[in-house]
Amino acid sequence: MDDRSEIVELALAWAEAIVANDAAAIGHFMTDDWVIVGPDGATSKTDFLALVASGDLTHDMMRTASEPRVELYGATAVYTARVVNSGHFRGQRFTADEWTSDVFARHGTGWKCVLSHVTPASRQDGSGAELNI
């Protein structure tokens, strides 16, 4: 399997762990200094996994809504895709349609995510068609 395919498969497996709401499995995909950056700021790996472990953050669906783009820069890979997901945050139902960028670094024989960034997407895809999430 080439590096691009490996990154796409890794992102899919990470999404499965997120939907399983398994904090330990989710953490396996991240470096210790991983952060996610979104409209409300940055959240550390420790804080993110604590939300999952406590049940304050759950997901019941996560899927790509675009063809993933993977660019390689030596031992670094940048994965970008439109992702739709849903779940609950502190008891409140949410649905999200986001452009997601994940930066992966090669660690030993595999890849780990060092940074995730999410940006809310418009409700239309690039063709102007409405997305159903």
Query: Would you state the structure tokens that stand for residue 87, as one six-digit string?
Result: 């779940």
Confirm whether 37 is domain-assigned. Answer: yes
pTM for the predicted model, two decimal places: 0.89
Query: Would you state the structure tokens that stand for residue 29, as one six-digit string?
Result: 């995909």
Assign residue 91 the CATH number of its domain: 3.10.450.50
pLDDT tens across the length of the chain (133 residues): 799 999 999 999 999 999 999 999 999 999 999 999 999 999 999 999 999 999 999 999 999 999 999 999 999 999 999 999 999 999 999 999 999 999 999 988 799 999 999 999 986 555 555 555 5
What range defines the domain where residue 94 resides? 3-120
Extended strands (E) in the chain = 30-38, 41-44, 57-64, 69-73, 76-89, 92-107, 110-120
Confirm whether 72 is domain-assigned. Answer: yes
